[in-house]
Structure 1
């Protein structure tokens, strides 16, 4: 069933939630209402873990944060981390997240895409962080997430010199997994989610936790594997594989 609050269209399915950013009058700019509504989505996914697909309506992912609201924010709002806390929450969701990016993903829109585990793009996708041109910095994760995704040199080109990454750049640099014609973008994103949905949900959840853990440590891997080795899902899947029912 499709429905949702005013800035989002939400397609709530058994194994995934599809969120479409929908503020056509503002090219899907991320405002306070959208942030609240995305927090509600996160709360639901923390309570009942499922895959998440985020996309934008009308040929734009999100053309930034709402400048009118940013203009009125001061020190206290910055210290609250209004956008950064949301994007960090999305990054820490239990199961994988995918951003399907068509058109502009700028400023806060880019940072939302960076916070997802995987990104697909249409040929029209453009990623950029123009915040310094407005007298601020990209303070909702871009200064460190983008470095982790594309390396320090390219990240500084985007963050300091205003470089925008088109779809070809993003693919070549590993920021996106695939470039797909706009008409096939959601279909391909769902195919990716379908593939992940075939895996054990606990295995996906622990793999994401271990992969995101800072520094990494063999003991962390061992503990996660110990949990999985005792799970009924592991035994069922391996029994099916040995019986020839799973390749």
Structure 2
């Protein structure tokens, strides 16, 4: 794994830290390549992923020096889009621990997570129109699902940047923590996930990500599979035994 993405592995989770502090962890091609490599690993061996950034910054955006030179063919290639879609589609949950700037592509990477935690000094949003482009790596379809269509339109059309308190109020963040505590808070979420049945967590994520027209049939099929699981029997039996004590 490239040193632009520092990866710490354990049995039930992986922590990946964006590590280009000299450019506020701007997402360049090397970062995208490293994210694809990590996704391949987590697709083969599903674990919860915690995404964070080095030196008090999540990611200040795409690397403008690279972005300026990209042309129409690069836009159609969806360099960031495909990496972020792959992250969002990982079998187990993705938790973003966000401190400082999460702008442009950095914000879109955060939107690709299932759960977003932040600090009061978060600054998150999409200033792309001010640079002559649009937020095209997931914001226009993910952000409405997170904060609603009206608020997504305001953010994306104006380039407004939210601070941590505003992002919490809008539902973009689940909770706020002191910068020194943000990673511990993400691990606490991962601990709660790890206490559950991994297959049930994966199936819940699948149902959450399904289009509206797939419901309720998708839940019923996924539930049918879980109803036949030995782990369901084991966990429910243990629950009943504890209640009888």
TM-score range, shorter chain: over 0.9
How many Å apart are 1:218 and its aligned residue?
Answer: 2.0
What is the alpha-carbon distance in structure 2 between the residues aligned to residue 156 and residue 126 of structure 1? Answer: 18
Q: Is the 8 A contact 2:125 2:155 kept in 1?
A: yes
Query: Cα RMSD between the aligned structures?
Result: 1.2
Unaligned runs of 5+ in 2: none
Q: SS of the counterpart of 2:68?
A: helix
Residue in structure 2 matched with residue 114 of structure 1 by the alignment: 111
Residue in structure 2 matched with residue 27 of structure 1 by the alignment: 24
Does structure 1 residue 174 correspond to structure 2 residue 148? no
Residue in structure 2 matched with residue 81 of structure 1 by the alignment: 78
4+ residue runs of structure 1 moved beyond 2 angstroms?
A: none
How many Å apart are 1:245 and its aligned residue?
Answer: 7.8
Residue in structure 1 matched with residue 194 of structure 2 by the alignment: 197
Moved more, 54-63 or 140-149: 140-149
What is the alpha-carbon distance in structure 1 between the residues aligned to residue 21 and residue 3 of structure 2? Answer: 11
What is the alpha-carbon distance in structure 1 between the residues aligned to residue 179 and residue 76 of structure 2? Answer: 38
Residue in structure 2 matched with residue 217 of structure 1 by the alignment: 215
Q: SS of the counterpart of 1:243?
A: helix
Does structure 1 residue 43 correspond to structure 2 residue 59? no
What is the alpha-carbon distance in structure 1 between the residues aligned to residue 224 and residue 132 of structure 2? Answer: 49
Moved more, 10-19 or 149-158: 149-158
What is the alpha-carbon distance in structure 1 between the residues aligned to residue 106 and residue 185 of structure 2? Answer: 21
What is the alpha-carbon distance in structure 1 between the residues aligned to residue 140 and residue 203 of structure 2? Answer: 26
Does structure 1 residue 155 correspond to structure 2 residue 157? no
Residue in structure 1 matched with residue 69 of structure 2 by the alignment: 72
- Pair 136,8 (structure 1): closer, same or farther in 2 beyond 3 Å: same
What is the alpha-carbon distance in structure 1 between the residues aligned to residue 145 and residue 202 of structure 2? Answer: 21
Q: Is the 8 A contact 2:2 2:30 kept in 1?
A: no
Q: SS of the counterpart of 2:136?
A: coil
What is the alpha-carbon distance in structure 1 between the residues aligned to residue 189 and residue 215 of structure 2? Answer: 29
Instruction: Count how many residue pairs are aligned between Structure 1 and Structure 2.
Output: 243
Alignment partner of 1:240 out of 238, 241, 245: 238
Cα displacement string for residues 193-215 of structure 1 (whole angstroms, at most 9, x for unaligned residues): 10011010000000110111001
Cα displacement string for residues 132-162 of structure 1 (whole angstroms, at most 9, x for unaligned residues): 1111100000111111111122212211112
Residue in structure 2 matched with residue 139 of structure 1 by the alignment: 136
Does structure 1 residue 98 correspond to structure 2 residue 95? yes
